[in-house]
Amino acid sequence: MAKQTWTARQLPDLTGRVVVVTGASNGIGAIAAGELSRAGARVVLAVRDTTKGEAAAAKMTGKTEVRPLDLTNLVSVREFASAWSGDLDILINNAGIMAVPEGRTTDGFELQIGTNHLGHFALTNLLLPFVTDRVVTVTSDLHKIGKIDLDDLNWDKRKYKPLGAYCQSKLANVLFSAELQRRLAASGSTVGAVTAHPGVAKTNLISHVGGLQGALNRLLLAPITQDGEHGALPTLYAATQDIPGGSYVGPNGLIHTKGYPEIAKTSKAARNPDLARELWEASARLTDTDCPISSGV
């Protein structure tokens, strides 16, 4: 059987649909936002740097709007959510950072778990009453080597490891989406939660790594890297195609690093319902936000 070759040209007519894309000022977020607006959606670019967001939006066709959102600051997350009114068809939790030096968010969270997971966890819970279709959370296939330390999510006790912290945050993305889907289904909601990963795409995600290490990274990754346009396809597929809640979408090519979108399989840890529930409870305590629907437990 031939492999699926779905592309952005197969997007449905999205006229009248409203989509929020976090981190849409560059990378696959900007590409996805541009394709969604081209297909007729009104796309809100939720970005930390609105100047960069406006520059990205100026290159897009269709209806776009730029709003400030800093996922490293829960006050900003709450302000974004409190300003929202009207239906939100699709929320795409795309923004992320990768393997950065040790740092802290405004609220004291380790920078990667704070940005990639906790900021999106809070945003989703606050916006969920407005969502009519689905929540798409962008993760990484590196979640498969991630480990969740519920007693030390913020690396207060462990020696900080940039890649380890990244993989933990990406596993947290998948667990969060799985538990959100469980809660939505238990409540009888028709809203779905899905995840997507871009494979290895040429973006500025690891642009902070310079010198010999940066050059070595680019050399080693070159054979399994795809362009940003292909990297955005799993997100677009997850956001618009008729797929079950709880699906995990990624590239269908070489070791799932490149190719066209297909429904794939998450790691065993990512399918642990007890871990998903415990992470949810810890995240709710840390962010002081929780799902505004019945948990079904």
Neighbours of 65 (CB within 10 A): 14
Residue 260 annotated to the active site: no
Amino acid at site 102: E
Is 166 within 8 Å of 223 (Cβ atoms)?
A: no
Under the banding of pLDDT at 50, 70 and 90, the label for residue 255 is confident
Under the banding of pLDDT at 50, 70 and 90, the label for residue 3 is low
pLDDT at 208: 44
In a 13 Å sphere around the CA of 111, the CA atoms on its Cβ side amount to 13
Is 245 within 8 Å of 185 (Cβ atoms)?
A: yes
Mean pLDDT of 194-214: 66
210 has a pLDDT exceeding 90: no
pLDDT at 204: 58
The token pair at 9 is 């040209």
For domain 14-285, the CATH superfamily is: NAD(P)-binding Rossmann-like Domain (3.40.50.720)
Q: How far is CA 35 from the centre of its chain?
A: 17
In a 13 Å sphere around the CA of 104, the CA atoms on its Cβ side amount to 7
Neighbours of 9 (CB within 10 A): 8
Q: Among 166, 237, 248, 260, which one carries the catalytic annotation?
A: 166
pLDDT at 201: 75
Q: What is the DSSP string of 218-280?
A: HHHHGGG-B-HHHHTHHHHHHHHS---TT-EEEE-SGGGSSSSEEE----TGGG-HHHHHHHH
**Nearest-CA neighbor of 28 among 91, 113, 94, 112?**
94
The token pair at 207 is 């642009």
**Nearest-CA neighbor of 140 among 183, 74, 93, 104?**
93
pLDDT at 217: 47
Task: Specify the pTM.
Answer: 0.92
The token pair at 181 is 């889907």
Question: Which secondary structure element, helix H or strand E, spans residue 165, and what is its range?
Answer: helix 162-187
The rounded percent of the chain whose pLDDT value lies above 90 is 84
Say whether 110 sits in a helix, a strand or coil: strand
pLDDT at 214: 45
User: In this predicted model, what pLDDT tens digit does every residue of 18-76 receive, in sequence order?
Assistant: 999 999 999 999 999 999 999 999 999 999 999 999 999 999 999 999 999 999 999 99
Distance between CA 142 and CA 267 in Å, rounded? 10
- Domains of the chain, residue spans: 14-285
